[in-house]
Amino acid sequence: WFNSLTYPHSSGYVQKVMPVIHNYPLTIAFLGRLVEESYVGAYNSPSYKGVKRLYEEGGIYVYPAVFDRTFYMRLTMSMSESDYVLYKPQTRWAVPILTTNNVISVGSKATTYVISSSPLDVRYIRLGVKRGTMKVFLKEVKDYEEVNNFSPNVAYNSKDVKSQGGFTLLRHREGDVVFGGSAERGIKFNDEGEEIYLPLPEFIEEI
């Protein structure tokens, strides 16, 4: 349940979700945390600890996930019947009577890449607004080579990677998720017959 876009509608507010999950909540989920202490802030303006600091603390870096198979489900809720209204400050802001949430449903499948300083033993992660459970299938990459000045063919965080160009898949305060363009430094490996060109974050010196 990720609210990528919110816009007013004649019947209330509509929350839309893109088939992309940012690497910030993914990193928190892979670290086994439900939330990171600076992730929530007043008036929808959270202050982020940063992916670099999370890597320094937990020794893990997770790339944005892109869905290979996506099923959506639509939920309509009444905000006036939730506890959210109790915390609403007494201002002129309007509380929507109805909110329609388009969420990613059971049966969906996404692919991401993980750099870890130690072997991973992650089978399930919890993430999203309602901390939904996702099953994780891990596959270790043993053979890879370093490459320079190449075009990535996976989604990555533009704030973490030294790159140029590419087009934006998802905008985020902690760095936009982009695809394509050119990167200065990364690795290349084979995944089921497909060559993957993965850009490396600037703060990871070697793997």
Tens of pLDDT along 151-165? Answer: 999 999 999 999 998
Q: Name the more confident of 206 and 115.
A: 115
pLDDT of residue 75: 77
Q: Would you state the pLDDT for residue 171?
A: 86
Of residues 43 and 115, which shows the higher confidence score? 115
Q: Decide if pLDDT at 201 tops 90.
A: yes
Name the phi and psi angles at 131, rounded to 5: 55, 55
Q: CA 18 to CA 22: how far, in whole Å? A: 10
Q: How far is CA 143 from the centre of its chain?
A: 26
What is d(CA 159, CA 48) in angstroms, rounded to the nearest whole number? 13
Is the pLDDT at 146 greater than 90? The verdict is yes
What is the chain's mean pLDDT, rounded?
82
Can you tell me the distance from the alpha carbon of 123 to that of 5, in angstroms, rounded to the nearest whole number? Answer: 30
**What pLDDT score does 80 carry?**
59
Q: What percent of the chain has pLDDT over 90?
A: 42
Cα–Cα distance list, 1 to 4, 75, 101, 132 (Å): 9, 10, 8, 8
